[in-house]
Structure 1
Amino acid sequence: MYDVIIIGAGPAGMTAALYASRSNLKVLLIERGAPGGQMNNTAEIENYPGFESIMGPELAMKMYDGVTKFGTENAYGIVQDIKDHGDYKEVITEDTSYQAKTIIVATGCVHRKLGVPGEESFAGRGVSYCAVCDGAFFRNKRLIVVGGGDSAVEEAIYLTRFASEVVIVHRRDELRAQKIIQDRAFANEKISFIWDSVVDEIVGNDMVVTGAQIRNVKTGDVHLEPINGAFIYVGLEPLTEPFKKSGITNAAGWIETDYEMKTKIPGVFAIGDAREKDLRQITTAVGEGGIAGQQVYKYIEEQH
């Protein structure tokens, strides 16, 4: 019996583990991949206090090193369901189950797909959702980045380290990214823009992407844009499918909590990018992790 099971080892989950284990709680951290979550897909992080600039995977490992010092146990697993048994909770993975007095859900989210022909078939062969992971494969190539938010524009700037040209395709006539990021993109000679447009199809031969069918949403005009790769940043989907049966998610799948990170189920908390909220940043994830780690301690003290 654990005091708390934390599902997900992104910045939120790792911070919660740090706070809970420092309170001398018995902590299990379950992760389905490498610790760090979306940080592992981020090139340079420039808005995390204490670092002028740090690579995402490096910050992830620094956080993880801190978590393991205070006795947090780690397990690999893909969570299928959680059950509330009153005095204790149960976390069910694909091959085992664990019991705890409390649960913290920190599963995060993933990049939304375009859902257009060619996207799935060329995944890993020219279609990517991670510039840090795949940018180096596109040296001196012509790329499109689909989207207009912070992630899209930041990754477009990063891709200019390798690509000969990066074209940002955005369905509106202005970007949604922060102004400082926009200014960098507009000043970058390798970046150009296709406004008021969406990608209808990604095309290529048997091996690689060769173009994208792009449609202007105002005029309806369609043209084939010659490219060697497409990087897609059009929003996020919460990784909360295992928790929908428990009733803690809203219609869109995001988990609703109060300011103490409590869900509708006593003893079940949620933090990080899986929560219903406006700002999804490492700083907010860390803050929520600290709150949840402390709230778990208070909950257990009150119950026992």
Structure 2
Amino acid sequence: MAPCAAAILMALAAPAAAQNEDALRSFFEGKRVALKIDMPGTSDGVDVRPDAGRALDYRQYGDRLKTYGVALRAGDSAAVTLVKVKKDLIEVQLSGGGFGTFRDDSSSSVSIPSVQKSDREKELEKSVREETDPRRKRELREQLEDVRNRRERENRRIDVERIWAEERKKERIAWERLHGGSRFNLRYSGAVPAGIRPEEVMAALAEYVDFSAAGLETRTEDFLPDAAAADSRLSPGNLPRKGMTRAEAEREFGSPTEVSDHREGGLAVTTLVFVRDEQRIATEFVEDVMVRYTITSK
């Protein structure tokens, strides 16, 4: 591509991205939504890959919850405080966006300088080295020991103060992590789709966020593959749904024909398989809440 043409494309792409961001910010910011999953107390947030076969890496998700704690819990209401569109990423920040941004002091270290040798101590060291009279040398050495001991006692006190200050700072950081909000990162392979609509963002987050609290609704089947959308139209109300409890699933589909457990990161995942008519319904639950399902013909 000629340099001139590349420059023109870049010039056109920047305003388009800005328009996307402006439209999404206008639509989402200030709205309150309800969360369906726990959110980690970090600006790393939760990564969701809408165009991947598996949108959420539960191992990574579990690790972040374990490392940073839970800032927002499933069922909590949170305000959308900022939406940012980057090359291949849409950030949906909630209640501040999470602790760990450039404005946050995330270091637990505290700098309290130790007391260095005073001029008096240095003079005494020199005098002890140069003194030839044994009695006088002993007196100077005693004075030096006294000055040195005072300095070392003060440094031990400073060490204790530093430890206490660092513990207090760790507690403050932990508190700020749990009160600093979190975020979703919608990560796309290549680039954010041109002209992406708010409805598409809601569809990508529908498994994790309830937008009805903000008076927003989206038909997520409009953005599903054709087969899945067809299934949802064929038997509304009788299909599994993400967020369904295990008890609800067993009432709807009967006793499972297969049950198994495995771990994904820090999460315990239970797989239940139901058979109904000519359909095999494989479902996965975390803490008895459905997070994934597939429907295949027998």
Same fold (TM > 0.5)? no
Q: Which has the larger radius of gyration?
A: 2
Identify the structure with the greater helix proportion: 2
TM-score by length of 2: 0.23
